[in-house]
Amino acid sequence: MARPGRRTVLAAVAVVLALVGGTVALVLALRGGGPEQVAEDYLRAQWSGDWRTECDLATLEWRDGELYGGHPFADCAAYADAAKEANADNPFLSFSDDTDVEVTVKTLNDADGRARVEYVVEFRYHGDDRSGFDELWQGGGAYDHGTVELVEVDGDWRVAGVDAG
């Protein structure tokens, strides 16, 4: 019986390494983003009215304590429906199509399944009602800043709190 040649062995090793690498990449992709990505996605969802994503990225405690506002929503879909209805008269909505929302995040610390991410959200208005847009912010500037607290829940980062200001 002939022994496998060096090329055959190298090809087999390359195939095994490719399979292992692909598996690792798949596991990391399914695991979700790191704390910065989750914080950014949460803030974008919040400012774009994507209530379902905002809820999905929050811990159960943050949902119950802050998002749900004491209402007994069955799940994030029920919350999203109610939030959409409740925000129908939000004055920002009339400016949202003409406003670019830029979210910048930076991890301040990340250890032992807890992270704190600093954020700045800037709004760049390019519509026709500049005075109305400026009035909406009441001279405070078209931006938001603060920190987001995150915790790992079953291997995924979730928002556990937001400290705006």
- Reported confidence tier of residue 139, pLDDT bands at 50, 70, 90: confident
**pLDDT > 90 in the chain, percent:** 65
- Return the CATH number at 73: 3.10.450.50
Distance CA 62, CA 11 (A): 51
Answer for the pair 141, 119: CB distance below 8 angstroms, yes or no.
no
Q: Is the residue at 94 inside a domain?
A: yes
Residue 26 lies in a domain: no
> How many domains does the chain contain in total?
1
Query: Does 84 map to a domain?
Result: yes
1 in a domain, yes or no? Answer: no
Q: Is residue 11 part of a domain?
A: no
Most confident listed range (22-31, 64-73, 151-160): 151-160
d(CA 85, CA 72): 16
Where is pLDDT greater, at 9 or 4?
4
Distance of CA 7 to the CA centre of its chain: 46
pTM given for the model: 0.76
Cα torsion 165, 124, 131, 54 to 10°: value is -50
pLDDT score, position 15: 36
Domain that holds residue 48: 35-164
- Whether residue 158 lies inside any domain: the answer is yes
Q: What is the pLDDT of residues 11-52, one digit of tens each?
A: 333 333 333 333 333 333 334 689 999 999 999 999 889 999
Q: How confident is the model at residue 9 (pLDDT cuts 50, 70, 90)?
A: very low
pLDDT tops 60 at residue 96: yes
Mean pLDDT of the chain: 83
